[in-house]
Amino acid sequence: MANGKGPHRLLQIISSNKCATLTLALVLFLLLNPLLSCWSEGLNRYLLVIFYVVSVFAPYFVSSSRKVLYLTIIPGGIFLLPKMLQVFFDHFNDPMNETLGLPGTAMLLLIIFEVLLVCCVMFYSLYTTHPKEPIFGCVLTYLLLAIVFGDLYFLMSRLLPGSFAFQETAFTPELNDMWYFSFTTLTTSGFGDIVATHPFTRQLAGLEAVCGVLYVALFIGRQIGLMTNTTRMERNQPVPSLGKDGDNEVV
| 162 or 218, which is more confident | 162
Q: Which domains does the chain have, with CATH numbers?
A: 17-238+246-250 (1.10.287.70)
Q: What confidence score (pLDDT) does residue 169 get? A: 87
Residue 170: pLDDT band (50, 70, 90) is: confident
Residue 85: pLDDT band (50, 70, 90) is: low
Q: Is the pLDDT of residue 114 over 50?
A: yes
Q: Which residues share a beta bridge with 135? A: none
CB atoms within 10 A of CB 208: 24
Angle at 172 between CA 167 and CA 176, to 5 degrees: 85
Residue 239: pLDDT band (50, 70, 90) is: very low
What distance lies between CA 220 and its chain's CA centroid?
A: 16
pLDDT digits (tens, 9 = 90+) for 201-221: 999 999 999 999 888 887 777
CB 20 within 8 A of CB 132: yes
CA distance 162 to 177: 14
CA distance 65 to 114: 16
CB 144 within 8 A of CB 170: no
**Burial per residue of 142-156, b for 16 or more beta-carbon CB atoms within 10 angstroms, e otherwise:** bbbbbbbbbbbbbbb
